[in-house]
Amino acid sequence: MKLYYEYASKVLNNEIVTGDTIKLACRRFQNDLLRDDLEFREDVVDRAISFIGTLKHYTGKHAGSNFILEGWQQFIIANILGFYWKGTGTRRFTSSYIEVSRKQGKTALAAALCLYYLIADGEDGAEVLLAANSKEQAKIAFDMCSKFSKGLDTKGKYLTAYRADILFKATNSKLKVLAADDSKLDGFNASFGLLDEYHAAKTSKVRDVIKSSMGMRENPHLCTITTAGFDKTLPCYQLRTVAIEVLNELKSDDEMFIAIYSLDADDDWRSEKNWMKVAPNLNITVTSKYIKGQVQQAINNPSDEVGVRTKTLNQWCDSATVWLSDESIIKCTQAVDLSKFRGLPCYVGVDLAATSDLTAVSYLVVDGDKYYFKTHYYLPESAFTDKTDKELYKLWKRAGLLTITAGNVTDYDYITTDMLKYSEVVNIQAVGYDKYNATQWAIDSTEKGLPLEEYAQTLANFNKPTREMERLILSGKAVIDNNEINRYCFRNVTLKSDHNGNIKPNKQVDKKKIDGTISMIQALGMYLQIPHYTNQIFTF
């Protein structure tokens, strides 16, 4: 029995552990083999598998060895290339959606498919488009195509690899790189399109461009291959939703092949018995030990959970993951008096309110292995007319936790005055602020001698200090001033993340306040920007 048949049978007999979506894909495959309107071309599939087998790996422990497809990979190739509408010479599947976790050889399989369509599918003037959301992402797959092609044709007699395309001279066929951030996205005539890491695409623009360019081709195919993501409002999740509905026969699409290697709804992502469902190449290109380490990291560090579950375990997660428990903040809470740190270096983070809202200013002093955070909050009088928070503001005012300024907006002069007073106690090294709505205040404060430095509140800037803040809190090294507003802000924080794994605090509910958490992390960010020495080690 050929391996692609065997794979489907073993999945359905529970000899291979998979999730329900792959079981549905295998059942669909077996049912399609029995259909009267379809024919399955083993010769085409076997030729493709043989072609891919001539490619050579060039990195890691498999470097120099041939690319031998595993059963699950052969199953994908067999479906994409093997089914034809009976008696027409026209392939059945014109698109595919493949979803699998990282380190499963996803990009290598994608590159192999690209080269097959470029060289061996028998079409003169083939045009293969290798697309991604950015030039950098597209280049990863293209570099793999380029290295594979050089291994096939070491002298460059038939294949010529350029900076952003590969030419197969025998049939005048070309492979091109395409990215969502390209200025020109038209004029194509694609025979095969590969869209990599679609989960990060903000729009369906590139996918639509490739799809619309295929109208003149007899056997076109658009392959979307990706890991899971964390934004369910983006086009990838919408496509995934349709794909699952097709597998469950809730919708009909006879021209889309689907292979989704995912956990089932009630699976515990921490359980090792489930990992094979998302890692069909387990202990081939990724070890159980590696996944176990990643999972333990996610358990130990809440900020890593979304990244591990989406990338390592291919599980779509909302980025709005609650960050730190109230208990962990309470354990770090005690009175902080900056006068006890007279003369020590101090780093300040400022989160200015854009309108009649809360402004937070955090002071950080590091003494020994402890990080002391003192935060002041400022609010204009007009905020007490706010229907949403006025009772809360009144409570904080009575407790002496707020500095109230006259007028409709916070008077930033209060902030500067307080900072200058503290500068006589501690040695203020840097004041980090986001330039939005702060230009004049920054000018005035700088003229008065405060060392202001712009610190944009971006994911890239906040990633390192957010992770460090988490570490300090969970290890008990953070000391946060005993102010109820601090705890209130932490309770409202979820984590926002991007496809690069960068994280920053985000509001769990739009109207809730997280200003104090932002200013503390900003102060820590200023501290981390400067090298710090001890008599033993050098840290950043």
Mind listing the pLDDT tens digit for each residue in 229-284?
988 878 999 999 999 999 999 889 999 999 999 999 889 999 999 999 999 999 99
Question: Within a domain: residue 319?
Answer: no
Question: Within a domain: residue 349?
Answer: yes
Among the candidates 277, 312, 347, a domain finishes at 312
Q: Which residues constitute the domain of residue 352?
A: 326-539
Distance CA 538, CA 84 (A): 64
Among the candidates 312, 340, 361, a domain finishes at 312
Question: Within a domain: residue 262?
Answer: yes
What tokens does 498 get? 């991007």
Q: Are residues 190 and 293 in the same domain?
A: yes
Q: What is the pLDDT of residue 321?
A: 60
Q: Are residues 331 and 191 in the same domain?
A: no
* Angle CA 99–102–105, to nearest 5: 85
Q: Are residues 115 and 69 in the same domain?
A: yes
- Report phi then psi at 31, rounded to 5: -65, -40
Q: What is the pLDDT of residue 178?
A: 87
Do 206 and 235 form a contact (C-beta atoms < 8 A)? no
Closest CA to 56 of 149, 156, 161: 149
Question: Within a domain: residue 321?
Answer: no
Scan for tokens 């090792």, then name that residue. Answer: 272
DSSP 8-class letter at 84 = E
Among the candidates 312, 338, 368, a domain finishes at 312
Q: Are residues 266 and 154 in the same domain?
A: yes
Q: Are residues 174 and 74 in the same domain?
A: yes
Total domain count for the chain? 2
Q: Are residues 291 and 394 in the same domain?
A: no
Question: Within a domain: residue 301?
Answer: yes
Question: Within a domain: residue 317?
Answer: no
| Cβ-based neighbours of 399, under 8 Å, separated by 6 or more | 484
Question: Within a domain: residue 213?
Answer: yes
Q: Are residues 34 and 116 in the same domain?
A: yes
Q: What is the pLDDT of residue 320?
A: 56
Give the E-state strand segments of 133-276 in sequence order. 159-161, 165-168, 173-179, 192-196, 221-226, 256-260
Question: Packing angle between helix 515-528 and helix 459-475, nearest 10 degrees?
Answer: 100
Q: What is the pLDDT of residue 184?
A: 67
- Edge-to-edge strand list for the sheet holding 90-91: 38-40, 83-85, 90-91
Q: Are residues 26 and 137 in the same domain?
A: yes
User: What are the angstrom distances between the C-alpha of 362 and each of 347, 399, 420?
Assistant: 8, 19, 14
Q: Are residues 15 and 112 in the same domain?
A: yes
Domain with 23 in it: what CATH number?
3.40.50.300
Tell me the per-residue pLDDT of 102-133, one tens digit each, with 9 for 90 and over. Answer: 999 999 999 999 999 999 998 999 999 999 88
| Cβ-based neighbours of 229, under 8 Å, separated by 6 or more | 199, 200, 236, 237, 310, 316, 499
Distance CA 419, CA 428 (A): 9
Question: Packing angle between helix 135-152 and helix 106-115, nearest 10 degrees?
Answer: 60
Please give the single-letter amino acid code of residue 122.
G
Distance CA 141, CA 109 (A): 10
Domain with 470 in it: what CATH number?
3.30.420.240
Which residues, given as ranges, of the chain have pLDDT below 50?
Answer: 534-540
Question: Within a domain: residue 320?
Answer: no
Name the pTM for this structure. Answer: 0.73
| Cβ-based neighbours of 404, under 8 Å, separated by 6 or more | 378, 379, 380, 381, 397
Q: Are residues 54 and 190 in the same domain?
A: yes
| Cβ-based neighbours of 76, under 8 Å, separated by 6 or more | 96, 98, 109, 257, 259
Q: Are residues 443 and 482 in the same domain?
A: yes
Please give the single-letter amino acid code of residue 176.
K
Q: What is the pLDDT of residue 325?
A: 80
Tell me the per-residue pLDDT of 160-172, one tens digit each, with 9 for 90 and over. Answer: 888 889 999 999 9
Q: Are residues 438 and 292 in the same domain?
A: no
